[in-house]
Amino acid sequence: MFKKIIFTILSAILTSSVFAQTEVVADQSGSVETLLYVVIGLVILISVLVLLVAIYTLFVVRTILLQEQVKAETEGAEIVPEVSIWKKLSKSLTGATPIEKEADILLDHNYDGIRELDNHLPPWWKWLFYLSMVWSVIYLLAYHVFDVLPSSDQEYNNEIMRAEAALEARRATMTDLFDETNVEVTTDATALENGASIFTRQCAVCHQADGGGNVGPNLTDEYWIHGGDIKDLFTVIKYGVPEKGMISWESQLGPGDMRDVASYILTLQGTTPANPKAPEGELYVPPVATEDSTTVEEAIPEVITEEESTTAE
């Protein structure tokens, strides 16, 4: 029975401290809080054990006393009526003077027949009072002197910080917010790295690892079949040109991945691949440098007329 009780209490305390631990992760004051929970848990555990031992001892003492009494009875001694444990307990808690002794503590004053007893304060009340004094010292030291525990203010700030970090993390994953109408070139290093790895994995078969072109066109030159703007690239990658062998990647790559790989392709502009495929499509000049229109027309290769007629169909 005892073992069962102790085991239950022990497991309850252990699980509660585990919960406390998981709750306060990623917080500076977390380890201190966890320690506090463990200490409180241990104190509760020890108090309960002490209580159990005390009750057990009481039972043992009672049994011995009963045996003594039986012995005394057989020897013909006078039997003193036994006071029950509950009466003793209530007496030690309330400290009340028994009614038959009240005369001893009656005060002299007599207010129209109303008399006053000079009772002590009940011990249970006094102990509560002493405990609250001890607690106030612990509280003062913990919260205001050594700052080992967070004040309400700090707790609030900690929570705000945690929430902001979570929001930041969520924002970073919310790349679904753009499509071909509003996509922008990214220069973020990790995004370009992601784009590069997607390119070597999924696109290099047809475009070559260096973008020089194979089944697919050369992506390092300034000539584009479908336009050289990030939005054009995004559109081609997203919807593909199935009849020409460029599949739609919408189902395999998220908007973030498609933006990353398109941005990566644009970084290949002006590089010299090992086996460049002949330019296909139109010379794409970024909007900032459009004055040189004559060279654009001259530079248009023959393929373009054929290309234009196919797209016009």
Which region among 28-36, 41-49, 104-112, 214-222 touches ligand HEC (by CB under 6 A)?
214-222
Question: In one letter, which amino acid is 313?
Answer: E
Closest distance to ligand HEC from the beta carbon of 243 (Å): 8
Q: Judged by CB, which is closer to ligand HEC: 212, or 281? A: 281
Q: Does 183 bind ligand HEC (CB under 6 A)?
A: no
Q: Judged by CB, which is closer to ligand HEC: 212, or 217? A: 217
Closest distance to ligand HEC from the beta carbon of 296 (Å): 16
Closest distance to ligand HEC from the beta carbon of 189 (Å): 19
Strands (E), 131-284: 223-224, 282-283
Closest distance to ligand HEC from the beta carbon of 182 (Å): 18
Terminal alpha carbon distance of the chain: 89
Binding to ligand HEC (CB under 6 A): which residues in 243-282?
A: 244-246, 249, 261, 265, 281
Neighbours of 17 (CB within 10 A): 18
Site size for ligand HEC (CB under 6 A): 23
- For the record, the structure tokens of 274 come out as 């090992």
Write b or e for each residue in 167-189: b if 16 or more Cβ atoms lie within 10 A of its Cβ, otherwise e: eeeeeeeebeeeebeebebbeee
Binding to ligand HEC (CB under 6 A): which residues in 90-149?
A: none
Question: Distance (Å, rounded) from C-alpha 245 to C-alpha 237?
Answer: 12
- Near ligand HEC by CB under 6 A: residue from 191, 230, 237, 283: 237
- Contacts (Cβ under 8 Å, ≥6 apart) of 176: 254, 255, 256
Binding to ligand HEC (CB under 6 A): which residues in 217-236?
A: 217, 224-226, 233, 236
